[in-house]
Amino acid sequence: MRHTTIVRTGLSALLIIGTWATAGLTQASAADAPSSAAPQASAGLITAMQRDLGLTEDQAVARITAEKAATALEGKARSAAGAAYGGSWFDADSGKLTVAVTDQASARAVRATGARTSLVRHTARQLDAVKSTLDTLSAPSGVSSWHVDPRTSSVVVNVVASKQRDNDVRVFVAKAREAGPVTVKQTAGAPQTFAAGTVGGDPYYTGNVRCSIGFSVHGGFVTAGHCGQAGGAVRGWDGSAIGNFQGSSFPENDYAWVNVGSGWWTVPVVLGWGTVSDQLVRGSNEAPIGASICRSGSTTHWHCGNVLAKNETVNYSQGAVRQMTKTSVCAEPGDSGGSFISGDQAQGVTSGGWGNCSSGGETWHQPVNEILNRYGLTLHTA
């Protein structure tokens, strides 16, 4: 990235950690200040959604507003569904939250909250049990991932298209079907993490690996676990010491956190890389399936897409990682650890995926609330 001012240099290089002049932060806060009539979204974010999601400006604004309302409604609607709850998702066509339920009485209760309903055969608890059984199986490299899909009321197993006829893939799928309702889908590529070898430029380094910072927390920042092990030293864009990995987990999970010292400090900002204005972080409410989401990383900078699935088990060559969120946002090596954000709400840190930002692909992130809870961290918010 080319930095245009000295004030921006430290912040840009570290995504959200670095030197930030008081005047600069004040201007950003004013520009992104909430209003009662419009969602908290910058003009740059609207432009990025137009580019990556094929929306008009009015459609992008309307979608952000609708997604915010759906996120706020999800907990109430789930409570109304009770034991009949089969999952939920945001429907972009209607602009409404849709809740899957297994009986008509629960459907009426959910509709009373303002959500739409879909009658399905299996509850979320039943599908979670099936997925848990799959998590105990040894998965071959031809099986990309698996997750509970409330829209089909089944567990979706994603198989790499070029390996779908491999015997070990067929054996895994057969065992999966024995566990319960399973839908098999094809994917173009196998997942891989997005760490990269050291190159000149932004933003942080550990050993010979370059990764991206996710979100500021009080005392440091969160990022991907595969980027470094506990105790490992972390250097900034300029080679100066930032801190050390205080905790790290990979595989099984893909999260870590780094303490900040040596003159560095934290700010509640996700870098827009000049594509959009830098985004203030105001919370970490989790967006529903179907919602729009954007990612910031040191290699491919700022891109947007949609939430495709939650609680997905991803089968990397290094081992399976569980409870991941899948998106249609592209990414490339070096983007690992970077920020996933929906509106002004932190979502997670980039883990891996397949494809690239020229031809497209899919990317997974580790939900940020899980990282905060695991290490007892507090998100730095505006």
3-state secondary structure of 217: strand
What is the β-pairing status of strands 301-316 and 319-327? antiparallel
Pick the catalytic residue from 32, 91, 254, 344.
254
Residue with tokens 């580790």: 366
Pick the catalytic residue from 122, 147, 226, 301.
226
Residues 6+ apart with CB under 8 A from 320: 135, 139, 251, 252, 313, 314
Residue with tokens 């004030």: 7
Least Cα distance to 171 among 152, 157, 181 occurs for: 157
Query: Cα 372 vs. chain centroid, distance in angstroms?
Result: 14
Least Cα distance to 374 among 285, 261, 250, 262 occurs for: 250
Say if CB 300 and CB 48 are below 8 A apart: no
Radius of gyration of the chain (CA): 21
Pick the catalytic residue from 42, 298, 336, 342.
336
Q: Establish whether the linkage from the previous residue to 251 is cis, with ω within 30° of 0.
A: yes
Give the whole-angstrom CA distance, residue 130 versus residue 98.
Answer: 22
Say if CB 40 and CB 282 are below 8 A apart: yes
Give the whole-angstrom CA distance, residue 265 versus residue 218.
Answer: 9
Q: Is 254 a catalytic residue?
A: yes
Tokens encoding 358: 């020229």
For 327, how many CA atoms within 13 A lie in the half-sphere containing its CB? 33
- Residues acting as catalytic residues: 226, 254, 336
